[in-house]
Structure 1
Amino acid sequence: MVQTIFSQTSYEIPLTQKAVTFAKTHGPHTIETAWPVTQPKDLKPGEVLVRVVYTGVCHTDLHAWLGDWPLENKLPLVGGHEGSGYVAFIGPPLAGAEPSTLKVGDAVGIKWLADSCLHCEECNKGYESSCAKAQNSGFSIDGSFQQWAVSYAAHLTPLPAGFPLEAAAPILCAGVTVYKAIKEAALLSGEVVVIPGAGGGLGHLAVQYAKAMGYRVIAIDSGAEKEKLLASYGVTDFIDYMKGDVVKAVNDLTGGVGAHAAIVVASGAQAYEQALQYLRPHGALICVGMPPNGDIKANVFWTVVKSHRIIGSYVGNRQDAIEALDIAAAGKVHTTFTIEDLSALPSVFERMKALTLNGRIVLDCQ
């Protein structure tokens, strides 16, 4: 039986640990049992050593392994960016900065955005993820598919008191990402939001955040299991994209006028093409899912005449993360997840590629 790790005021930090790595794009994963642990004396200013207890698995982790984005990640790589755990050691403060308010033993979350300069225009406007100096967990730096991860004091997110670490992990990327995307749509209470990919890791959270924020949700996905899952969240309008004309179905459900917004978390390009056809005038297409080599083909005339808004939404900022976690901790959003061992990651990726996962997989790093 795995011994549960609890918050402590000090940690005995080992020299080696368990981690999952890959050394080349789409290459084999290695289940490391003696991967080096960064020692406290080696932490750079602003860095924090985190004892990772759980980590979610995101579609972005799959993209990093497949190498199908027009960006290069570091190699070899420890992926993962939905880590929840405890502060184990705090490095020296950055020059001229106040010491971190974090304490050893604090429950924290590791997010996709690991670090940014916090001084440029983008950072000052709350767009830290667009910072030219941004670092990303599990992409440009090693992430949370390990037991002891190095992250950054300025961007670690404090977890709400008493919120289970396993439930917090998926919120740290999937939850924050969809919460931010819904905010970008700038909707009014009662307006209609369509969520293609609603039964997936991002989608099942997007549905709940949208409902918690007072919007009417139309969910698009396929299969009886996903329909049942979404019904458990109170979704009554479900469209199976494999069984008919999606555009017609949305228009029928909205009395022929279309939706106010589409939050596309699906990873297929067709979902974007359909969304532009069922949005009503002044509707917003919020782009979240990133199909490889996907393009949005928008007719300029109708985009202008209908005053459609096409908005790319990356991950949320530090405040978005706090808000998303608070909503979940209040019981308004529940992550549907299955816990598996860290060593199951290669299998999780294969199931993710086959589109057979419902909800989220959370890996136990203990």
Structure 2
Amino acid sequence: MAESGPSEKFPETQTVALVRELGGEVEFNTDYPVPKPGRNEVLAKILYTGVCQSDLHTKSGTAAGPDGNPITKIKLPHVGGHEGVGRIIQLGPGCSDDVKIGGLVGIRFASRICRRCEHCLAGKEQYCKKSTNHLHHEDGSFQEYIALDADYLTILPDDIDPVVIGPVLCAGLTAYKAILNCQLKLGDWLVVVGAGGGLGHLAVQYGRAQGALVLGIDKGLGKRDYIMSLGASDFIDFTASSDLIGDVMRITDGGAHAVVVTSGNAKAFAQAADMLRINGTLSCVGIPPGKAFIETPVSSIVIKGLRITGNLVGSLKECLEAVELVRRGVVKPKIEVRPFRDLPVVYEELEKGRITGRVVLKIAKD
């Protein structure tokens, strides 16, 4: 079992983006301690990281829990980020032989699991009640170095592009899981609400990879051209439509087989179920702040035989499947690379809905 040698030296401090209290401003601390890997842990140098809407909600103190109330049990000071790609530079004692120095690893939402509960045993470890994550409990990828559980590593193929893979570890995985939960057949109609966003543009592509005909819904002429370039069959600008449900019914010849709502805006869910045909599936992804509700009559759900499913990221196995489709070029994330210190500006743009695709921050200095 390899470990880094005693002659190897690593920095004692690093630069991190932290928030001292929920709702506070992001500040860059250049004197934050570099963690030392414990037993069955590795130390990774973070190369790139995506910026997720969940990072913004958590930092702002508006991230909703299962009961709709804000999540307040968050490690402070808070270091967010859960779409990172890093390279292993040090092994703690007890790491297995398949963990190698120099290997690429992902920093995902989930950080540690129990491996023994019913959810872990069923391959649905994202629901492990004893789990921790890089958003609420442990420092995430908005830092230069990170310690990771070697027994739950997201080991990435050596030939992936670390620049584009970060967003796949959360946005891509969640979109992929949402598509799987739709149980689509070849030629089914899939509506993606928020199709031009960080999650939406990936849902369009994972849906196309399943053989679906995709109708993208978003706003703006630029979004139309972009979403159609991803392989969508049609597009609706919801700000220009006087009868959104009617337009969906006309284009899909009677309603979608599935609707994936990727937007974190409560209004996006208001009419989503009305877009479905008999036995259709509403796949919920975006989590609006506060207690948002699906405004659908129970009679409609019963009489039309609708399915409603939620998607909390996905398992490690599903993550690697989502990564593989990107590695093979079937799915191509749209990213914009920016410097690490642009994070506060990126948060502002996310709040205003001005980002198409995903922003990726360059963390490593070399």
TM-score by length of 1: 0.92
Give CA deviations for 1:263-290 in whole Å, capped at 9, x if unaligned.
1101122222211111011111111100
Structure 1 residue 194, shift from structure 2 partner: 0.6
Identify the residue that residue 319 of structure 1 maps to in structure 2: 317
In the alignment, the residues of structure 1 paired with residue 319 and residue 169 of structure 2 have an alpha-carbon distance, to the nearest angstrom, of 7
Identify the residue that residue 65 of structure 1 maps to in structure 2: 59
Question: Is residue 2:50 matched to residue 1:56?
Answer: yes
Question: Is residue 2:212 matched to residue 1:215?
Answer: yes
Structure 2 counterpart of 1:22, from 19, 24, 28: 19
Q: Give the letter for the 1:316 counterpart.
A: G
Q: Give the letter for the 2:71 counterpart.
A: L
In the alignment, the residues of structure 1 paired with residue 256 and residue 323 of structure 2 have an alpha-carbon distance, to the nearest angstrom, of 27
3-state SS, counterpart of residue 23 of structure 2: coil
Identify the residue that residue 78 of structure 1 maps to in structure 2: 79
Structure 1 counterpart of 2:227, from 230, 233, 236: 230
Structure 1 residue 297, shift from structure 2 partner: 2.5
Give CA deviations for 1:209-263 in whole Å, capped at 9, x if unaligned.
11011111010100122222212212230011111122111101012x1000011
Identify the residue that residue 291 of structure 1 maps to in structure 2: 288
Structure 1 residue 100, shift from structure 2 partner: 5.8
In the alignment, the residues of structure 2 paired with residue 110 and residue 155 of structure 1 have an alpha-carbon distance, to the nearest angstrom, of 11
Identify the residue that residue 113 of structure 2 maps to in structure 1: 116
In the alignment, the residues of structure 1 paired with residue 153 and residue 228 of structure 2 have an alpha-carbon distance, to the nearest angstrom, of 34
Task: Judge conservation of contact 2:184–2:210 (CA < 8 Å) in 1.
Answer: no
Task: Judge conservation of contact 2:261–2:268 (CA < 8 Å) in 1.
Answer: yes
In the alignment, the residues of structure 2 paired with residue 114 and residue 246 of structure 1 have an alpha-carbon distance, to the nearest angstrom, of 41
In the alignment, the residues of structure 1 paired with residue 9 and residue 85 of structure 2 have an alpha-carbon distance, to the nearest angstrom, of 19
3-state SS, counterpart of residue 319 of structure 2: helix
Task: Judge conservation of contact 1:114–1:137 (CA < 8 Å) in 2.
Answer: yes
Identify the residue that residue 308 of structure 1 maps to in structure 2: 306
Structure 1 counterpart of 2:348, from 344, 347, 350: 350
Structure 1 residue 157, shift from structure 2 partner: 1.4
Structure 1 residue 311, shift from structure 2 partner: 0.7
Q: Higher mean Cα deviation, 321-330 or 12-21? A: 12-21
3-state SS, counterpart of residue 78 of structure 1: coil
Task: Judge conservation of contact 1:20–1:31 (CA < 8 Å) in 2.
Answer: yes
Identify the residue that residue 142 of structure 1 maps to in structure 2: 139
Structure 1 residue 191, shift from structure 2 partner: 0.5
In the alignment, the residues of structure 1 paired with residue 260 and residue 22 of structure 2 have an alpha-carbon distance, to the nearest angstrom, of 30
In the alignment, the residues of structure 2 paired with residue 359 and residue 68 of structure 1 have an alpha-carbon distance, to the nearest angstrom, of 22
Aligned residues: 350
In the alignment, the residues of structure 1 paired with residue 216 and residue 55 of structure 2 have an alpha-carbon distance, to the nearest angstrom, of 25
Q: Higher mean Cα deviation, 145-154 or 190-199? A: 145-154
Identify the residue that residue 155 of structure 1 maps to in structure 2: 152
3-state SS, counterpart of residue 309 of structure 2: strand
In the alignment, the residues of structure 2 paired with residue 240 and residue 232 of structure 1 have an alpha-carbon distance, to the nearest angstrom, of 16
Question: Is residue 2:362 matched to residue 1:364?
Answer: yes
3-state SS, counterpart of residue 10 of structure 2: coil
Task: Judge conservation of contact 1:160–1:325 (CA < 8 Å) in 2.
Answer: no
Structure 2 gap ranges (5+): 64-69
Q: Give the letter for the 1:58 counterpart.
A: C
Identify the residue that residue 3 of structure 1 maps to in structure 2: none
Q: Higher mean Cα deviation, 228-237 or 160-169? A: 228-237
Q: Higher mean Cα deviation, 349-358 or 135-144? A: 135-144
Alignment of 1:162-201 (within 5 A): 162-201=159-198
Question: Is residue 2:280 matched to residue 1:279?
Answer: no
In the alignment, the residues of structure 2 paired with residue 155 and residue 192 of structure 1 have an alpha-carbon distance, to the nearest angstrom, of 36
Identify the residue that residue 5 of structure 1 maps to in structure 2: none
Structure 2 counterpart of 1:332, from 308, 315, 330: 330
Identity score, percent: 39
In the alignment, the residues of structure 1 paired with residue 308 and residue 202 of structure 2 have an alpha-carbon distance, to the nearest angstrom, of 22
Identify the residue that residue 66 of structure 2 maps to in structure 1: none
In the alignment, the residues of structure 1 paired with residue 335 and residue 199 of structure 2 have an alpha-carbon distance, to the nearest angstrom, of 12
Structure 1 gap ranges (5+): 1-8
Task: Judge conservation of contact 1:100–1:154 (CA < 8 Å) in 2.
Answer: no
3-state SS, counterpart of residue 162 of structure 1: coil
In the alignment, the residues of structure 1 paired with residue 196 and residue 340 of structure 2 have an alpha-carbon distance, to the nearest angstrom, of 23
Task: Judge conservation of contact 1:207–1:219 (CA < 8 Å) in 2.
Answer: yes
Give CA deviations for 1:180-209 in whole Å, capped at 9, x if unaligned.
111011111111111001100011111111
Identify the residue that residue 88 of structure 1 maps to in structure 2: 89
Q: Give the letter for the 1:310 counterpart.
A: I
TM-score by length of 2: 0.92
In the alignment, the residues of structure 2 paired with residue 301 and residue 263 of structure 1 have an alpha-carbon distance, to the nearest angstrom, of 21
Task: Judge conservation of contact 1:100–1:153 (CA < 8 Å) in 2.
Answer: no
Structure 2 counterpart of 1:270, from 249, 267, 274: 267
Give CA deviations for 1:128-170 in whole Å, capped at 9, x if unaligned.
1111111111321100001101222233212223111011111
Task: Judge conservation of contact 1:111–1:156 (CA < 8 Å) in 2.
Answer: no
